[in-house]
Every structure is written in structure tokens, then in C-alpha cells.
Amino acid sequence: MAKIFYDKDIRLEVLKEKKIAVIGYGSQGRHQALNIRDSGFDVIIGQREGKSAEEARKDGFEVISASDAAKKGDLIILTVPDELHESVYKEMMNNITEGKTLGVCHGFSILYGLIKPPEDIDVVMIAPKAPGPTVRSTYIGGSGVPSAVAVYQDYTGEALQKALAWGSAIGSGRVGIIETTFTEEVETDLFGEITVLCGGVAELIKAGFNTLVDAGYQPEIAYFECCNELKLIVDLIYSGGLENMWYSVSNTAEYGGRVYGKAIIDDSVKENMKDMLDFIRSGRYGRDMILEQRTDMNQLKRYRELEKDELIEVVGKKLRDMMKI
């Protein structure tokens, strides 16, 4: 059974007299920094000059370079995208000295060696299970989003408590912080994104839409049936699990889904998923992703261009504009 921590389990005093440097002021950085400051901690921002730096100053933060922020900070939280971790860390590394704590929101760069931290610091992770704006909006509403916590390196003996204090400061201690490892977080996160949440769902939607259109049905009707209504189903699952969804839909939908859904997502799909998990666990996907990052994401850019004008995108935009959905 996984271990879950709540605010009552967490010692905030391990960070109370510390300076917290949030590196990057994008989606996660901005909203985590605001929550941490509102929780009573001393926060500075490490951010290159530009629009994000201006926004941080408007929000009332001291903004300095990543290197200077690492020098001043006791807990240095790296919130920039994965592909920037290596270069940003190199800017800071000489200022991340003995006893400090390096925090990441995703373990990819640590697990795959893009960042090689010295042995005399703590290395921890808090991975919020929601986009940055949701981290902020739930906090303001008196709740929070669940997070995963992991310790990669415990030099001081207090690495876990520091990570938990960070998690509590962004609001996750209100709802639960689940303990994991860097390896488990990275591999399950990549697997979920590829096979279900992003890749799997997107391909399933497109396959259903294109099957109906190819059979002569109106693209607009196909869009509603295979894409637009998905949010209604996901909301039901999110609020009460799969059984809540089955309870809430019609008997016709439940019968068709329960009985014949397995004819679509069959054992061959599960075998493909197992192959993808093996691909991830072997490190081959990580190496593939690192190569993509170092070639300016050229393959990803090519796929963006190929898919941005697909019929489902054209029809969806037209319907959303016409019907304000």
C-alpha cells in the first residue's frame, strides 16, 4: 500500500527560515511560487530577462539570474521544461553548494543523467498531478492537487521532510502527497502519457472520428460523438471512478461499453502497451527523447505541422467558434 502524507505529518519548520529559489516563471513556476509565498515562505525567482521576469516582478517577487538564485537559495526548485534542465543546471551548478537542496517537478533529467548532482546536497522531487494554474486555483479555493514525493539523494538526513514541506506549501498536503521513487515516477508518467492520457486518447479519438467520416457520416456529428462528449465522461470518472461513470450514463451506453469495449481495446492493445513499457524501462525512450531535445525537437515540430490541419481539428475549431463550446 502506498504511503500518503498529509499536512499533519509534515514539519514546515525545516523550511521556515530558509530561502526558496524557484527557477523558471512559467506555468508551474509562477503558480507554485505564489502558493509557497502565500504559505509564509521566503521566495525568490531565478529567471532570464523577458516577459516572464516582468510578470514575476509585477507579482512582487525579487527576480535575479538562475545562478544568483541558486547562490541565495537553500531549496532550489527547478520548474523549467525538461529540455532546459541540463543547460539551466549548468548555469547554477557551481552555486549549489554543500547542504543545499535541489528540487525537481519531474525526475526525467535526474534519472537519465542530464543532471549529475554532487553528493553533498539533497535531491528531491515534488510532482504535482495537475497543470500550474490548477495548482494555484485549488490552493486559493482552500484545497490543493495531489503530488508525488521522492528522494533521490539524502545528504542532510532531512531530505524527505524538506520535500514534504515544499509539497505542503503548494497545497498538496491538504489532499495527499504519495510517496514514490524517481524511477517509478518517471517510468509511470511516461507510460501514462504515451499509452493513455495523451497518445492513446488522441489516437482513439481520431480513429473513431475518421471511421465515422469515412463511412459517410457528417464530420460535425462525428466530432460530437467521438471528441466533444469526452469531457463529460472524464468528469464523471474523475469525480467518482469508472463505476460512477457507468452508473451515470444510459443503460444502452453502459451495455455497449462494458460488453463490446473490449473488442476495441483487446489483448493486442495490452501487448502493445507492454512493449511500450519495456521500451521505457530499458532507457531507450529516454535516450530517444534526449536526442530529440538536442536536435531542436525537429521530429516533434514535423508532427505538429503534419497534424495541425487534420479534418478533426478544422471541424472542431468551426464548431467551437459557432457554438461557443
Q: In this structure, which amino acid lies at residue 296?
A: D
> 238 among the known binding-site residues?
no
On whether 193 is known to bind a ligand per the annotation, the reply is yes
Residues 186, 189, 192, 197: is their CA dihedral positive or negative? Answer: negative
Q: Does the annotation list 55 as a binding residue?
A: no
- Three-state DSSP at 233 gives helix
* 31 in catalytic set: no
Largest CA distance in the chain: 67
Question: Which residue is listed with cell 451506453?
Answer: 253
- Please tell me whether 47 is known to bind a ligand: no
Contacts of 85 (CB under 8 A, 6+ apart): 78, 104, 108, 109, 114, 115
The catalytic residue among 85, 100, 106, 136 is 106
**CA–CA separation, 157 and 187 (whole Å):** 26
Q: What is the dihedral of CA 136, 115, 304, 313, to 10 degrees?
A: -30
Q: Is 168 annotated as a binding residue?
A: no
Question: Is 229 part of any known ligand binding site?
Answer: yes
CA distance 113 to 282: 14
Task: Judge whether 250 is annotated as a binding position.
Answer: yes
Asked if residue 27 belongs to a known ligand binding site, the reply is: yes
Pairing of the two strands 42-46 and 4-5: unpaired
- The reply to whether 46 sits in an annotated binding site is no
Which stretch of DSSP H or E encloses residue 42?
Answer: strand 42-46
Known binding site for NADP(+): residues?
A: 25-28, 48, 52, 132
Where is the binding site for substrate, in residues?
A: 250
Residues noted as catalytic: 106
Residue set of the binding site: 25-28, 48, 52, 132, 189, 193, 225, 229, 250
Tell me the binding residues for Mg(2+): 189, 193, 225, 229
